[in-house]
Structure 1
Amino acid sequence: MSQNQGKFVWYELMTSDIAAAERFYKSVVGWTAKDAGMPDMTYTIFSMGEKMVAGLMTTPEEASGMPPAWIGYIYADDVDATARDVATKGGRVYRQPDDIPGIGRFAVVADPHGAAFCLFNSSGEGQPDGDQMAPGRIGWHELMAGDLDSAWSFYSSLFGWEKDQALDMGEMGIYQLFKIDGQTCGGMMTKPKDMPAPPYWAYYFNVEGIDAAVERVNAGGGKVVMGPMEVPGGAWIINGVDPQGAHFALVAPKR
C-alpha cells in the first residue's frame, strides 16, 4: 500500500466560464493561475506559492447539462480494482478508468447516494503533503451524505478511513469526523432533509480571515449562502456559490 492510498490528492472545478472562474478564485482564495500546456484542451492550474492545489476546466461535452461543480480526487493504488469495488458496493462508475498521458490514471465515480468523486493514481511521485491548514490549501473535506451510517461503511471499506470524534449536532444528527493516515481531515453527516441539493462533497479552502474573504466573494459576484459561523475548535467558515453557480466553502482561523 502506498503512502497516498485513500488521501484526497487533487481538486478540480468544471465550469461554464473558466476565465471568470479564474478571476474569482484568484481574488477570493489568493491562488495564482497558469495554463497547464495540454495539447488538446485548456486546463488551468491553481497554485499557492510553489504548491499546485487545484485544476480548472470547461465542463466536457459528455457531462453537458451538469451544473458547475468542484470534485475531489482520492488516491487509489489500483484505480481499476477500486472502480470495480465502487460498483460492487452500490456506487456508480460514471467514467471508466482511463489514462491521462504522462500524469496518471483516473475514473469518475459516485457513492451509493450519488455524491461524486474521482479515483486517481499518479504515474510519478506526486507532491509532498505539506501543511493542510496553510493558506490556499484545502483544510477540510465534508460529505453531506444520503445516510451517514451507510456512507461511512462505503468509504471506510473502500479506502481504510478511520473514525475520529462523533459530534452530536442535536436535531441535525451526528457529525462524524474521520482520519486518513492518522490525520483528521474531514467530517460527514446525513444531509438535512430541508437541503435542496443532492448528497455532495464540499471542500473548504483556507483563507486568513473570513470577513475579508466574504467581502471578496461579494465583490466578485459570488454569494454567501451560509455563515460566517464559528465551528468547534474556533475556526470560522462560510458556504457559498461562485458566479457560475458552483458550491464552494472557506475556512479561516479568525473573523
Structure 2
Amino acid sequence: MHGKFVWYELMTTDTKAAESFYKKVVGWSARDAGMPGIEYTLFSIGDHQVAGVMTMPDGALEMNVPPAWLGYVAVDDVDASAARLTAEGGTVHREPNDIPGVGRFAIVADPHGAAFALFKGTGEPPPQLDQMASGNVGWHELMAGDLDTAFNFYSKLFGWTKDQAMDMGDMGVYQLFAHGGQAIGGMMTKPKEVPSPFWLYYFNVEALDAAIDRAKSEGGQIVNGPMEVPGGAWIVQCTDPQGALFALVAPKR
C-alpha cells in the first residue's frame, strides 16, 4: 500500500451544502461517520467509502486558507515518512497523530508547498475500487513548483516511478507517474499564472456533459475545459460553491 492514494478529504465552510453538491454531481451517498466530538461526513459509492468532508479548522480562513481537497497517501510508517519528508525539504504542518480506531496521519507539504497527508490505517485495508470506477478518484495531478525537483521528492518518499511523458509545448512536460506499475497521475511545472503549487483530484463520472450541467445547476463553476485528453477521456476542472477546486473525468462527453 505504501505510496498509494487511499483517502480524500474536503475541508470547507459549509459541509451540508458541499454534501448536497457532490451527491448530485458525482453520485456519492453520504452519512455521518459517528466520530465522537467531531462532525465528519463520509462519501461512498455503494459499499465503498471514497472521501470525507469536514468544517475547516478554526483559524484557517484567517490565514487565507481556502476550502480545498486533501489527498491521503498510505505509508508503512507515518512517523518515519514524516521524518524523511522533512529531510528531503518538505514541511510537516500537523505532526503525526492518531485517529482512534482508524489510523495514524500527518498533514504535510512538498518542498514547494503542495499539501497532502500521510496515512497508515489500523488493521487490514478495505477492498479497493477499480481506479476508473464511477465515483472513484481516477487521476491525481500535481501542479508542481518544479517538475524535476518534485518528481525526485515523491519518488524518494513513495517509490513512484516515471510512466509516459508528454511534451505540452510552451507548457512544458506532463510526466505521468505510476504506483506498482500502474499510472495513477501526472505532474508538471505549474504555469506562471498559477500562484502556488497544488494537488488536483479527478472524480470519475459516466458522461462529462451531464455532470457539467449538474455542477452548474448546483452552483459550481467551470474554470478549465471541457477537453479531450490522450487515451480518449474527457476532463473538466471546476470549483464547488464554496470555492474548492476539483476535476471530473469521463470516458465520453
TM-score, normalised via structure 1 length: 0.97
Q: 2:17 aligns with which of 20, 44, 47?
A: 20
Distance 1:166 1:67 in 2: 31
Kept in 1, the 8 Å contact 2:208–2:249? The answer is yes
Once the 2 structures are TM-superposed, how far is the Cα of residue 198 of structure 1 from its aligned partner? 1.0
Distance 1:198 1:249 in 2: 18
Give the structure 1 partner of residue 94 of structure 2.
95
Distance 1:128 1:149 in 2: 34
Distance 2:236 2:157 in 1: 30
Give secondary structure in 2 for the equivalent of 1:155.
Answer: helix
Give the structure 2 partner of residue 122 of structure 1.
121
Give the structure 2 partner of residue 45 of structure 1.
42
Give the structure 2 partner of residue 176 of structure 1.
175
Kept in 1, the 8 Å contact 2:129–2:136? The answer is no
**Structure 1 outlier segments of 4+, above 4 Å:** none
Once the 2 structures are TM-superposed, how far is the Cα of residue 143 of structure 1 from its aligned partner? 0.3
Give secondary structure in 1 for the equivalent of 2:21.
Answer: helix
Give the structure 2 partner of residue 248 of structure 1.
246
Give the structure 2 partner of residue 209 of structure 1.
207
Give the structure 2 partner of residue 132 of structure 1.
131
Distance 2:128 2:161 in 1: 19
Match runs of 1:33-112 below 5 Å: 33-61=30-58, 63-65=60-62, 66-112=65-111
- Identical positions, percent: 65
Aligned residues: 251
1:34-88 CA-to-partner distances (Å, cap 9, x unmatched) read: 0000110100000011110000000112534321000000001010011011111
Distance 1:143 1:79 in 2: 21
Give the structure 2 partner of residue 219 of structure 1.
217
Give secondary structure in 1 for the equivalent of 2:51.
Answer: strand
1:208-252 CA-to-partner distances (Å, cap 9, x unmatched) read: 111001100100001000010000000000001000000000000
Once the 2 structures are TM-superposed, how far is the Cα of residue 126 of structure 1 from its aligned partner? 1.7
Give the structure 2 partner of residue 152 of structure 1.
151
Once the 2 structures are TM-superposed, how far is the Cα of residue 9 of structure 1 from its aligned partner? 0.3
- Paired amino acid for 1:236: W
Q: CA RMSD in A?
A: 0.8
Structure 2: 5+ residue runs without aligned partners? none
TM-score, normalised via structure 2 length: 0.98
- Paired amino acid for 1:61: D
Give the structure 2 partner of residue 233 of structure 1.
231
- Paired amino acid for 1:8: F
125-134 vs 151-160, which moves further: 125-134
1:128-148 CA-to-partner distances (Å, cap 9, x unmatched) read: 222110100000000000000
1:95-149 CA-to-partner distances (Å, cap 9, x unmatched) read: 0000000100000000000000000000121212221101000000000000000
